Amino acid sequence: MMRALVLLLLGLPPILAILFLPSYLVLMREELAWRAQPDPYEFLTQWRGMRYNEMALAQLDEAQRPQGYIARFISSPYGVSYRSGRQILAATWNHDESQVLTASATIAERWNALTGEQMQTYGENKRRDAPDSRQWGFGFTQVAWYAENDKVVALTSGPSSLFFFDPVAAPWRISEKGVESFVARGNRAAFVESFERGHVADLTSRQITQLPHTDVSAIALADDGAVVTATRQDIQWWRDGKPERRIAIEAPYNPQSISTDARWVIGRASRHALLWATRNGEPLAFEHASEVTAVCALGELVVTGTDDGRIHLWAVRGSTPLRSIRASTAKIDALTCGHKRLITVSYHQTDVRVWNLDGRPSPGMVATPTPPRQEWIVSLGADVDLPNRFPGLMALIDADSAGARQPWAVGALVVLVVLAFGLAKGASKGKRAGSR
């Protein structure tokens, strides 16, 4: 029995240390990083998913308010409200820019743009495994207001169908091939099918008109009722399904979109944002120091986003930005321009923020997150700077990010217990034999 106890006393501490010490050391290192009062951008970049993220995000919100930041939606990747897997694929304003519609991989939502609060959810989770996914598609890839800007229509993929809300109406399959660009205004919608042709859909009669314009990649509905389509070679204006005028352009790649006021065809190429005026084809280029990942334009303002998480505001004929803001800790995935406000989507399409375009500070809702509960062993280890006293051990922990050590430690623990049990059982048999 004594041998079994000695074996356990000698073997258990190192095995338990292998199992639990690394996670405690990582928490200690995070605690030390937070105590150093880091820049919130850098902290969120290096420690995303950790316990102090909500605290750092509150600091980030306050740091951005003087630059025009208003609110973030609760689908943010940080904080207790985050719902895993929610990716914002599209966002659009209502008429007065007080509300925002978003489309995600599972659901459509309506938000208060000034507070970031969710106001309404549309549809059930349209996942790929939904019972009706083969008939009506899955996910919501686009969303828009229609009618008098008080009804909501959302687009699915594979096959592409329209779901109608406020009030709810039967869905309408509009394409078997897939839709790349979708907009709605009044009782009409326009979309591009499989980078081939533009279509105009009457949402009341559910009739679709195909426009005879090939290789289309972007489409828009103009204020005067015209439809605008764009390819790499030209911009085409349409009225009542008939061509009105054609303007030749030379684009290096397929245009990504057309501004909501139908004034600008928008594209990008590496470190350049590219625009063409839809009225006369005038080309404009905006050069950046890093790769351009998103562009939007409205009126005389252009907004660009880059892979370093910054947004840049330009006059349409300006050579330098009017203003630049570090809006995210990751690249800007998408931008939606309004007349007064801007929506940015970043952090792998999960961090959605609203900004005043004029940079006017907004008081917004002040976040007061509760500090995370701290275990005494983490606080004690941070107090004595334990992670930095064992840099070699920390390097081993970082190298073993996949957790390969744990199966070995669990196996060693099982072997240790079996050996100790065997020794104890053997000692018990020997004692019984000696007593006879």
Q: What is the pLDDT along the chain (436 residues), one digit of tens a residue?
A: 565 565 556 555 555 555 555 666 777 777 777 778 768 888 887 776 677 877 888 888 888 999 999 988 864 444 434 434 467 889 999 999 999 999 887 788 999 999 888 899 887 655 555 556 778 888 888 999 998 878 999 999 878 999 999 888 899 999 988 898 999 999 999 999 988 899 999 999 999 999 999 999 999 999 999 999 999 999 999 999 999 999 999 999 999 999 999 999 999 999 999 999 999 999 999 999 999 999 999 999 999 999 999 999 999 988 899 999 999 888 999 999 999 999 999 877 778 899 999 988 877 666 666 777 767 677 777 777 777 776 665 565 555 554 555 564 455 555 556 555 665 665 565 555 555 5
What CA–CA distance (Å, rounded) separates 192 from 179? 6
* Other beta carbons less than 10 A from residue 330's beta carbon: 19
Q: Give yes or no for a contact between 248 and 231, defined as CB atoms under 8 angstroms apart.
A: no
First to last CA, the chain: 19
